[in-house]
Structure 1
Amino acid sequence: MKIVYFYEEESEKALFQESLVGDEIVFLKGTVQDNQNYQDETAEAIVVFVNSQVTAEDMKRFPNLKFIATRSTGFDHIDLSEAKNRNITISNVPTYGENTVAEFSFALLLALARKIYPAYNRVVEKGSFSQEGLKGFDLSGKTIGIVGAGNIGKHSIAIANGFGMEVIAFDAYRNEEFAQNANFKYVEFDQLLSSADIISLHVPLNPHTRHLINKENISKIKKGAILINTSRGEVVETEAIVEALEKGILSGAGLDVLEEEGLMDDEISLIFQEHPNPESLKTVLANQYLIDHPQVIITPHIAFDTQEAINRIFNTSIENLKAFGKGNPINLVKN
């Protein structure tokens, strides 16, 4: 099988070559978009990460394409409808970083709760050990609202219990037995917004979750709450976060993901496009507001990024490719 692999680091090449002996692999550095001029009429499979958009136009560049392996749990970067029309099978990595992402969510939360970033900056930039303005708050006794009680959400619930927090959760599919055993209770979404001191998002991006938190429902959020988002940027309407911070509805936010985060590295070209998308431009400007806000911590989509999680991603991706090559695909994405 001929495979086109879009890679991030050189170390990936040796691992996949050693593991897929007998397959022909073409390695391309960067994303699908970074290699727009590359076409391959014989490639049967491509391997991508979430930073590669796989659109209908991209699929045309690979007319013999039969399989897409994404090195991620999420698959919103792939045009599922076009893949279905072309009879292309898609596999993902359903679980690899449930504890990894949950741990990072609490890293963001603790950094906000204990003002770690401004404290660090004060020491490094000013050489000052003054404690003025650095009083934080305990997690113990606070109510955390987990939005999405799937694999990552379940680990977040366990961590929250370890801190002595009151845990409530919203999920489209309730498991009351698990809730009883894991010491939390399910509530409706609006109740979670109004009751939680901390809101932590752990849902996939789909038509039902896009702008789940928006300008219409931010007024329902408990005043002074903190928002943590390690899921997808589009789950929250960016303008809603800005408005909530301006009005004091949110006292802070920890964001590992942003809407239009892919444009943040190239905002200049967006501004000078002949016909720039007004909504994209507005979102990029709102993102810059969040980056500059003293009560917001933003990280570059790294919640998944530990050595252990990456190893699990690679191993599962290799198994996905082997299984497809044998005619028994696994970890299928329904499209």
Structure 2
Amino acid sequence: MDRLDEPLFTDEIYRRQFAKTGGTFIFGNGVDEDRASVASEWHATTNFTDVKFISIDAQGNESVLVTEVDAASAGLQLFLHDADDIVEYLQSLPGPITLDITALAHRTWAPLLRAAVIGEITISLIYLEPETYSSSRTISEDGIYDLSEKIGGIEPIPGFARLGPGSTDEILVPMIGFEGTRLNHILSRTETPPDRIVPIVGVPGFRPEYSFYAHSRNRSVIEANFVYRQVQFAKANCPFDAFLTLSEVHAWNPHEGIRVAPIGTKPHAVGAVLYAISRGNLVEIVYDHPVRSKRRSKGEARLCVYDITGFVNTSVFRFDDTNGLSGHEDS
């Protein structure tokens, strides 16, 4: 498959360079990271003109509270499993929509992204890379950075429960990061044979050394039973490169299902979610819902802007609408 040129859909800038006129800006609130706080001073700059700001608060397992900033009206509770309700809400907002996923949990942004795609709502995502991550107090093979307090447990992301059982021959694609414990947890639950494990490493990483850290913290799995022979690569901050890598792996056995574990970078997780939306029941998202550590990152680096609507209108994404967009649960 020919690679799409990611600058066509990804723009790497700095936060001060981002500008928006009209439409809606949705962001997460209440996370204690420098990069995750959308400062009111930034909103008040001339970079934003006639923009409606929506804050997502109280991110729960089943619902979130969405509140219009500086409005007198009370917040609205959105149920994450109710795709129709989310589509209706997004359609009620002035477009185009920009969704800042930096401070949002996977179980929050993924249902919103899916609703925008199935509702044909013009949307882009933004993600602010950290300047650095907080170092772990106890450095081991499992982790050099203090990113998660604990693993919540493997269960479907809202809207992404597969309908029907999968095959025992399915490939498992873990999109790995710095936490080897998470990969070992998923492998222990899925009991995947080594010859069916195809890890994806973020290359290049947010920083040059990050790719080596990801490999070293998952070394026990990668080096066991020749799994290293199956390692694939995708740019760490590009969901579209991740999508294309998943497509290439899936092409090895296109009629079988594929399980994807997005336990690395958030942009890779976006690529995995887009692939699951596109391919429907051929894809299962395996996610462990970690509890984030407090102050897990410091500072901010590049702001990545992802043209989701531009990508989903390509033939690469819409290879089969009947199997793809209707292949997951709806409420």
Larger radius of gyration: 1
Fold shared, TM-score > 0.5 on shorter chain: no
TM-score normalised over the length of structure 1: 0.35
More strand by share: 2
TM-score normalised over the length of structure 2: 0.35
